[in-house]
């Protein structure tokens, strides 16, 4: 599969999605219809004609910042917290190299989408974005 297909316009690493990995349902927003209700996808791809949000003059826009600040500090939302950093990394090293790094992070358990506890509840423990020092 094309590496770019597994990098969403907003900076999510789609290959870490449980629907992609466990069930084979979602193939990433570039190849599936799950993006049909996504304002970020609409703004970037359909309206803006861009591949990634970082290509926009307004990057990072308020819509992307709001998306990235979803449930601050909670591990299950960590994949959202790092979208702006992901986009900057894609811009710097290219999507192919970024894919390799993100796949390794996923394999090592450092990146996941909507991480859950063994009982199925969302993991609300402090996410890696948070400083553990007070």
pTM for this model (two decimals): 0.85
Looking at the domain assignment, is residue 10 inside a domain?
yes
d(CA 37, CA 41): 8
The tokens 């506890």 sit on which residue? 117
Using one digit for the tens of pLDDT, what is the confidence trace for 73-129?
Answer: 888 888 899 999 999 999 999 999 999 999 999 888 888 887 777 788 888 888 877
117, part of any domain: no
Classify residue 126: in a domain, yes or no: no
Nearest-angstrom CA–CA distance, 26 and 20: 5
Residues 20/8, Cβ–Cβ less than 8 Å? no
Domain assignment present for residue 54? The answer is yes
Please give the residue range of the domain that contains residue 103.
3-107
How many structural domains is the chain composed of? 1
- 35 in any annotated domain: yes
Asked if residue 115 belongs to a domain, the reply is: no
pLDDT tens by residue, 49-73: 999 999 999 999 999 999 999 888 8
Does the residue 127 lie in any domain?
A: no
Domain presence at residue 125? no
Q: Cα dist. 73→69, 78, 130 in Å?
A: 9, 8, 6
């Amino acid at each position: 599969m094309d590496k770019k297909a597994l990098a969403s316009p907003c900076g999510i690493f789609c290959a870490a999605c449980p629907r992609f990995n466990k069930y084979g349902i979602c193939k990433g927003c570039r190849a599936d219809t799950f993006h049909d209700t996504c304002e970020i996808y609409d703004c970037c791809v359909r309206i803006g004609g861009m591949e990634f949000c970082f290509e926009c003059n307004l990057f990072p826009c308020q819509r992307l910042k709001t998306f990235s600040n979803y449930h601050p500090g909670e591990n299950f939302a960590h994949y959202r917290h790092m979208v702006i950093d992901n986009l900057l990394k894609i811009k710097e090293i290219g999507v192919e190299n970024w894919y390799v790094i993100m796949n390794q992070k996923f394999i090592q358990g450092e990146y996941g989408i909507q991480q859950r506890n063994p009982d199925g509840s969302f993991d609300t423990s402090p996410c890696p974005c948070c400083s553990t020092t007070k």
